[in-house]
Amino acid sequence: MKFRRTGTAAGTFMLAAAALAMNAGSASAIDWDHTKSYDGVTVYFEEHGDIVKVCDTAKNGRSASVIVYENSPGDVGYSMTVSTGKGDCKSHRASDGARYNPLENHYVYFQLDPHTSKYYTVKWFNDH
């Protein structure tokens, strides 16, 4: 009888540890404040931490880029390009340095560039 209890306790512990490990992975996922897709490029923006992520979302042989502007288009902050293929992404956050930390309570502009003759610009208000 005593052996069964120990086995049950060990089994319960292993199940709890597995559940904790599974939840830890999902707890780190970002619930993005803003998302925009255009012609094989997707950009994500999380205001807390000023996280910007760009992903290549089309198998079209072209790279995917985003140019991040502060205040107005033309006031370039930085750019990121993903050229390794569909499903790949790059990101930056405020903790990467001052250039990646856009002003609070201002618009931030994102130019999605699929490296064709067309592009799409979206602006989001950064109030966090």
The per-residue pLDDT for range 42-101, each reduced to its tens digit, is 999 999 999 999 999 999 999 999 999 987 767 778 999 999 999 999 999 999 999 999
Half-sphere exposure of 87 (CA within 13 A, CB side): 0
Q: Which residues pair with 37 in a beta bridge?
A: 42
Question: What pLDDT does 100 receive?
Answer: 95
pTM for this model (two decimals) = 0.74
- Tokens linked to 112: 């999605």
The answer to whether 29 touches 23, Cβ cutoff 8 Å, is: no
Cα-Cα-Cα-Cα torsion 56, 59, 60, 66, nearest 10 degrees, comes to 0
Residue-wise burial string across 87-110, b where 16 or more C-beta atoms lie within 10 A, e elsewhere: eebbebeeeeeeebbbeeeeebbb
The mean pLDDT of the chain is: 81
The answer to whether 36 touches 112, Cβ cutoff 8 Å, is: yes
The answer to whether 81 touches 90, Cβ cutoff 8 Å, is: yes
Rg, the chain, Cα only:
21
